[in-house]
Amino acid sequence: MTQSHSQPRSMGIQVEGVHFGYPARPVLRGVDLTVRPGELTALIGLNGCGKSTLLRLAAGLLRPGRGRVLLGGDDLAGLSRRATAARVALLHQSAPAVPGLTVRHLVRQGRYAARGPLGMLREGDDPVVHRALRDVGVEQWADRDVDALSGGERQRVRLAMALAQDTRVLLLDEPTTYLDLHHQLDVLQTVVRLREERGLTVVMVLHDLAHAARFAERVVALREGRVVADGTPKEVVTPGLLADVLKVAGRVGEDPEGGWPVCYPDHPLATSSTLENENHFH
């Protein structure tokens, strides 16, 4: 297997005509999306629009009802779970704390795809684990219990675990949820730095449009299971997007130093559910 430090080429993602859902509830309705190798893309949209489902499909955890997902040109439907996990790592929104688990042991869990169940029984870390701990800056906590860490510290450790999979693609599902502003910026800046250093392809679901506009080079907006906007932050982040996708009336300016779009949300707009509720009470 190629070691990370040899900097293998980045890997792209292709989502072609993907539908996914349940009999009474379609979630994705014909999504086409190509993420170029080495790109940092943010997925935005209201809760329930299909963002997290799209990440799980790209990670091979779900199978499309129709359409296909390709990683590096290979259809995920033809790859085993372990082969997929060697290509793409998914950092879920949250994970239950495991009492008594140290930072080192949690990060080692990321080696499962490469080492297998027997390899995981061997004591000692391989160089990939050392590098993941170092790259995220958590080496000094290696022997501390994970459940003794703060939320921001724990998220950095979970990011190290994802890096320990040693993949070319990193998917992040709302990596800043439940974090204060200091730790939100810390995690996002770490992701940007790691993507640059390791040549990663990164797709992250973000709730905060300001963070998407600042840190991503591409923003993809979903509404009701479809891609409705796709482009650079300057192309996508507009008052129209705020209204159509996020159901918020607002203005968009420009950061005077960085040049990225800055949103000034004013008030929420009525959605179909709020209109239904109003009609119910009248």
Residue ranges in the chain modelled with pLDDT below 50: 1-6, 274-275, 278, 281
Number of residues in the chain: 282
Q: Are 160 and 191 in contact (CB under 8 A)?
A: no
- Where in the chain do CATH 3.40.50.300 domains reside? 10-87+167-281
pLDDT per position as a tens digit, 150-163: 889 999 999 999 99
Position 259 scores a pLDDT of 95
Position 6 scores a pLDDT of 45
CATH (one of 3.40.1350.10, 3.40.50.720, 3.10.580.10, 3.40.50.300) for 10-87+167-281: 3.40.50.300
Q: What is the pTM of this model?
A: 0.90
Cα–Cα distance between 99 and 82 in angstroms, integer?
26
Q: Are 126 and 111 in contact (CB under 8 A)?
A: yes
Position 272 scores a pLDDT of 65
Q: What does the CA dihedral 89, 90, 94, 95 come to, rounded to 10 degrees?
A: -50
